[in-house]
Amino acid sequence: MAMTWFSAPAPVARRVRGYFAPVNRSAQAPVLFDPSEQGGFCLNTPPSPWIDLGWIQEFTRKAGSRTAAVLTGIPAGTLEQVRETLEAQVSLEFLSWTKLTMALATGSQHMNLLAPASGASAAADGAQAAPAVIPQSGSTATFIALAAADAARFTANSIVAMDADYTGQTGFVGSPVSGAYVRQALTDVDYIRRVTYNVAFVSQVSTTGLTLADPLPGGVPATGAKLQAATGFVDREGGSFYQEWSGLFVMEGSQGERIFYYYPRLQTMVSAQESVLPLDDKNKEGLARILLKGQFLALPVTDPLDGERVVCYRSFLPAANALI
C-alpha cells in the first residue's frame, strides 16, 4: 500500500510577510489572530483588520525574558527555575515606504503633510493647511462624494486624509488608529487629520467626487469627518507618544506549511532609522536601496485560557501529508 505521508524536514521559506493591526488604545484591546480559524488565509488578503505590509527582510526575534534558579541545600543546588522578567524584541526591515511602514518604523507620532493654504507661513511639520471639505452623503470607503467645487480642489494621483476636526479634546485622537495622544488642548483644527492613518491615494477625480485606489482604512467616512489633500508624510525625532500595534509575521514553507508569529502588543522602541542596502556589488558606494528599519518591544497580555502572561504566540500549521 502506498504511503500517504512523508517525513517533512525543517521548513524552507523564501521570505517573511508582515501584517499589522492597530491596538485599540482607549480600550487597551489588541487585535486577535486565531491560527486555527484564520491560518489558511491568502497572504495577499489578510483577515480584517490586519493590514498587509508586504514582504519584509532581516526579521529577527530576540527573547529577553530572564529566568533565575531557586537554590536550596548546602552546597546549593537548583530546586526549580522561575521566570524573573518577560520581554521580547522584534526587528525587521520594510521593503517599501508607505504611510504605515514609515509610521511603524518611527518612535513617535507620524504625521501627514497637509497641502498648505495659499501664503501660509512655513512650519517644519507642514504649514497651516488649506481648508478641509465635507464629504457628501453617498460616500463609501473607495469613493468620496463631493460638491463639484470641492472636487475641483483635488487632483488625481494625490493623497488625501480623512478625519474629524480637532475641537480641543485631550487623550487619544485619530480614527481608526490612534495617531497621537494629546496631553493639553491644541489650537490646530486640522491636528487630527495631521496624525490620522485614514489616508488614501486618489486614482480619479470627477465632478461628483474622488475615486480611491485603495479603501480608506476607516471605511465609510464617519459623520463629522472632513477631507484634506496631503503632499507627503513627516515624523520627528523626539516626542512622547508611543504607537502600539498588534503584529503578525508569516513564513510559508516550500511544502505549504506555515509558521506564524503573533505579537498582540508591539511598541516601537527606537527612533526613526534607515539601513542602506547597495543594489549590487558594483554599487557598494553608489546606488543603494534605503530601507526603513523597525525595532519593536513586545508587551505582555494575559492569556484568558489559563491566566498566563505572554508576549508572543508561535504557531505551526504543518504541510499537507506531512508526518508530525
Distance CA 36, CA 315 (A): 9
Q: How far is the CB of 320 from other proteins (least distance, A)?
A: 8
Of 254, 275, 283, 302, the residue at the interface with other proteins (CB under 8 A) is 254
Distance CA 107, CA 246 (A): 16
* Assigned C-alpha cell, 6: 512523508
- Return the closest-CA partner of residue 174 out of 153, 195, 157: 195
Residue with cell 522578567: 85
- Using CB under 8 A as the binding rule, whether residue 321 contacts other proteins is answered as yes
Q: How far is the CB of 2 from other proteins (least distance, A)?
A: 7
* Assigned C-alpha cell, 38: 484564520
Contact mark string toward other proteins, 130..169, x via CB under 8 A: ----------------------------------------
Using the contact rule CB under 8 A, the part of the chain among 7-15, 54-62, 112-120, 167-175 near other proteins is 7-15
In the bound state with other proteins, the residue whose beta carbon lies nearer, of 8 and 310, is 8
Of 57, 142, 255, 315, the residue at the interface with other proteins (CB under 8 A) is 255
* Assigned C-alpha cell, 189: 483644527
Using the contact rule CB under 8 A, the part of the chain among 2-10, 153-161, 226-234, 239-247 near other proteins is 2-10
Are 81 and 71 spatial neighbours (Cβ–Cβ below 8 Å)? Answer: no
Kindly provide the b/e burial profile for residues 137-150, where b requires at least 16 CB atoms within 10 angstroms of the residue's own CB. eebbebbbbbeeeb
In the bound state with other proteins, the residue whose beta carbon lies nearer, of 44 and 137, is 44
Binding-site ranges for other proteins (CB under 8 A): 2-10, 12, 14, 254-256, 319-321
